[in-house]
Structure 1
Amino acid sequence: MGAVRGILVVAVVLAVATILAGAAEGKVNGKAKGKYRALFNFGDSLADAGNLLANGVDFRLATAQLPYGQTFPGHPTGRCSDGRLVVDHLADEFGLPLLPPSKLKNSSFAHGANFAITGATALDTPYFEAKGLGAVVWNSGALLTQIQWFRDLKPFFCNSTKAECDEFYANSLFVVGEFGGNDYNAPLFAGKGLEEAYKFMPDVIQAISDGIEQLIAEGARELIVPGVMPTGCFPVYLNMLDEPADGYGPQSGCVRRYNTFSWVHNAHLKRMLEKLRPKHPNVRIIYGDYYTPVIQFMLQPEKFGFYKQLPRACCGAPGSVAKAAYNFNVTAKCGEAGATACDDPSTHWSWDGIHLTEAAYGHIARGWVYGPFADQPIFQSS
């Protein structure tokens, strides 16, 4: 069994090396190591490394329970995955320690901090309250709130001259997002549908733009701004929706109109970034792609070492008989009674029907660093 698994691992590595040659070469040769002095990360549950739990573990939270964290570090950390997230893999690629959650006391922030927190939105709470969605959205730290947390920690990064801070930030990478997923979930989970969610889009994009501008004003000179994932491929939505037969992608099994929604958000986001770049000619702003890799995980899973199957959560429980294949049950979510994890999360891209596995996040991170999952690789050979 061990020999078979070893052969499988080698095959997977070779397949991924073929499709992401730059990523594999960069990792082997350590080309990206030393590129940055620090990382600063902002976002939601896709990037939260423990901020939600930093003030004490709430044992009612599923992410405070195994099997969250089973792959890394072997116990729950507040990460919504079996292990490391994109930002953790980025730190590995750059030879930096994993970023501590910004709210974790007695931490060293010499190499940056992670401000992401589960439930975060691009828009502030009053926006949702004005639309009658205050009770639906769970906003524990919107983008501008996280940027204020960043300002509050400034003495831990550079505490002497402005020139010192400017130099430190100029040699750091700022990861801004993804933002938008939770903003759109507010109307979607309230049953208001995509038509209402589309109305949020201009304001979400503007909020992300405002956040980028504020970080640039603080001294950021290299930023990567991720888009959203293809919503229609995630078991949490597939379990919720009833679509006509022609509403699903014939190969992927994803809901087309929800994926179109995500694609439109990303198109607007990229257009916004294109407008920002001429305003800040000395700043590099990169678009990070979450959408394309997840689609590839669905259509060409074998190239990443994943099983070929309909969108399916590794950790969860079957719902209704008609939708049992998605392995998502709102009354028995991952980490809750009745849910179990698959034997090998590295063979799945979807961890809990909402978030990704460590393996999937690793492919995405290396695709951002070396290509092809960014509009320009973070690391570029001189």
Structure 2
Amino acid sequence: MELHALLSYTFFLLFLFVIAGETVWANEEDRKVANGGFRPTKLFVFGDSYSDTGNNPKSLASSWKTPYGVTFPGKPAGRYSDGRILTDYVARFMGIKSPLPYQWKKYGENKLQYGINFACGGTGVFDTGNMQPNMSTQIGFLEGLIKQTVYTKRDLDSSLALVTVSGNDYGAYTASGGPEQGLPSFISRVVNQMGINLKRIHDMGVRKVVVTALQPVGCLPKQTIFSSYQQCNETDNSAATLHNQLLQQAVTTLNNSTKGSSFLVLDLFSSFNTVLKNKGDFTGSLKFDTPLKPCCVGKKGDANCGSLDENGKALYTVCNEPGSTFFWDSLHPSEAGWRAVYLTLRSSLNQIYN
């Protein structure tokens, strides 16, 4: 994805702030605010497990089971990782707390001042069969809050939306017996609906809308397990490439029909590949010796991370150092993995201040 030239800045802020209970430092490398430019103070999140911070019901989701959350906050908290995920890092970039999950419904100015997260693990652009709200329904939740005047026009004008789509629609398509030759047509349907959804979010008054490109799904441990975590499935990656090409076209069309660059694609495909190829982040601070192998692995059969047998015994194994792995489980990056991805995306994120 082509990157625009960075804006010039007159000063940098160095300050201490808190993300979902964690103390971190922000500096000029994490957050660069253009002099007089757009500065979002609220984050609205829509999508799936790549951005869900606790909306999936505890009775259904593995994200509420041990060992999820072992790195942060030290116990399962609804994130599909050992710790922080993309949402947390985008919020960090903005200099705000990660917004509360919608499921908590703790309305009040002091609770919702940073926005709200509607994303729900396992969902898609369309229904994926898990009975959880798809993207259109999630957007409807925000519309409901606007009608209740929980958020005002001024709130929306100073907000950013993060939209993640990580492939659940395609998993549901395959699981339902969808023919391989029909996949390109289905990909077009998914992306067309994404375009409608993105415009709907913006038309409500959200100033900037950021949407993720599809990650290289053929490099997920769910696929690389068949090569002992040595090789990606290039057929699956080709399908992801088609999705991303159509998405970029859709976003370009949306930007051409609105004032300014209201829509931005975060290129997870390239960022994942960059980290996997380098076996770590480009700064050299994070290293992953076997980047395609997850930290938490099911021991046998269909056992997944967090699964227990009838006696409560773990049907999974966990590596000693989650921070040394890019993937946490068969589908999701670890906290260290997401941080490495975030480091490759910061220059792109600077475009939200245009």
TM range (shorter): 0.7 to 0.9
Structure 2 equivalent of residue 77 of structure 1: 77
Structure 2 equivalent of residue 307 of structure 1: 288
Using a 3 Å threshold, how does the CA distance of structure 1 residues 101 and 291 change in structure 2: closer, same or farther?
same
Find 1:148's aligned residue among 111, 119, 140: 140
Q: What displacement does 1:177 show?
A: 1.8
SS at match of 1:224: strand
Find 2:335's aligned residue among 358, 367, 379: 358
Using a 3 Å threshold, how does the CA distance of structure 1 residues 197 and 318 change in structure 2: closer, same or farther?
farther
**How many pairs align?**
314
* Cα displacement string for residues 224-254 of structure 1 (whole angstroms, at most 9, x for unaligned residues): 1111111110121334x68xxxxx9xx9610
Residues 1:333 and 2:304 are matched in the alignment: yes
Give the stretch that moved more between structures: 296-305 or 26-35: 26-35
Equivalent residues in 2 for 1:197-346, closer than 5 Å: 197-239=183-225, 253-303=231-281, 305-309=286-290, 311-319=292-300, 330=302, 332-336=303-307, 337-346=314-323
SS at match of 2:352: coil
Structure 2 equivalent of residue 183 of structure 1: 169
> In structure 2, what is the Cα distance between the partners aligned to 1:237 and 1:156?
45
Residues 1:110 and 2:113 are matched in the alignment: yes
Q: Which amino acid aligns with 1:117?
A: C
Q: What displacement does 1:51 show?
A: 0.8
> In structure 1, what is the Cα distance between the partners aligned to 2:91 and 2:321?
24
Using a 3 Å threshold, how does the CA distance of structure 1 residues 303 and 221 change in structure 2: closer, same or farther?
closer
Equivalent residues in 2 for 1:101-180, closer than 5 Å: 101-107=101-107, 108-123=111-126, 125=127, 137-154=129-146, 155=148, 157-158=150-151, 165-178=152-165
Q: Which amino acid aligns with 1:144?
A: S
* Cα displacement string for residues 330-375 of structure 1 (whole angstroms, at most 9, x for unaligned residues): 2x2111122122111111111101111111212333433334xx6x
SS at match of 1:349: coil
Q: Which amino acid aligns with 1:188?
A: T
> In structure 2, what is the Cα distance between the partners aligned to 1:276 and 1:360?
31
Q: What displacement does 1:310 show?
A: 6.0
Q: Residues 42 and 176 of structure 1 are in contact (CA less than 8 Å); yes or no, is this contact kept in structure 2?
A: yes
Q: Which amino acid aligns with 1:110?
A: Q
Q: Residues 313 and 351 of structure 1 are in contact (CA less than 8 Å); yes or no, is this contact kept in structure 2?
A: yes
Q: Which amino acid aligns with 2:341?
A: I
Structure 1 equivalent of residue 5 of structure 2: none
SS at match of 1:153: helix
Root-mean-square deviation (CA, aligned residues, Å) is 2.7
> In structure 1, what is the Cα distance between the partners aligned to 2:280 and 2:213?
24
Q: Residues 224 and 230 of structure 2 are in contact (CA less than 8 Å); yes or no, is this contact kept in structure 1?
A: no
Q: What displacement does 1:264 show?
A: 1.0
SS at match of 1:214: helix
- Which of the two has greater helix per residue? 1
Q: What displacement does 1:318 show?
A: 4.8
> In structure 1, what is the Cα distance between the partners aligned to 2:242 and 2:249?
11
Residues 1:48 and 2:48 are matched in the alignment: no
Q: What displacement does 1:197 show?
A: 2.7
Structure 2 equivalent of residue 63 of structure 1: 63
Q: TM-score, normalised by structure 1?
A: 0.75
> In structure 2, what is the Cα distance between the partners aligned to 1:262 and 1:65?
30
- Which of the two has greater strand per residue? 2
> In structure 1, what is the Cα distance between the partners aligned to 2:204 and 2:250?
20
- 5+ long unaligned stretches in structure 1: 1-21, 126-135, 159-164, 243-247, 320-328
* Cα displacement string for residues 97-143 of structure 1 (whole angstroms, at most 9, x for unaligned residues): 121001213242121000000121112x3xxxxxxxxxx73251111
- 5+ long unaligned stretches in structure 2: 1-7, 14-25, 308-313
> In structure 2, what is the Cα distance between the partners aligned to 1:262 and 1:71?
30
SS at match of 2:106: coil
Q: Which amino acid aligns with 2:161?
A: F
Q: Residues 222 and 331 of structure 2 are in contact (CA less than 8 Å); yes or no, is this contact kept in structure 1?
A: yes
* Cα displacement string for residues 58-94 of structure 1 (whole angstroms, at most 9, x for unaligned residues): 1x64222111011111111111111111111111222
Q: Residues 40 and 115 of structure 1 are in contact (CA less than 8 Å); yes or no, is this contact kept in structure 2?
A: yes
Between the aligned residues of both structures, percent identity stands at 25
> In structure 2, what is the Cα distance between the partners aligned to 1:148 and 1:379?
27
Using a 3 Å threshold, how does the CA distance of structure 1 residues 105 and 303 change in structure 2: closer, same or farther?
closer
Q: Which amino acid aligns with 1:173?
A: L
Residues 1:37 and 2:11 are matched in the alignment: no
Residues 1:348 and 2:325 are matched in the alignment: yes
Using a 3 Å threshold, how does the CA distance of structure 1 residues 190 and 308 change in structure 2: closer, same or farther?
farther
Q: Residues 368 and 378 of structure 1 are in contact (CA less than 8 Å); yes or no, is this contact kept in structure 2?
A: no
Q: Residues 212 and 266 of structure 2 are in contact (CA less than 8 Å); yes or no, is this contact kept in structure 1?
A: yes
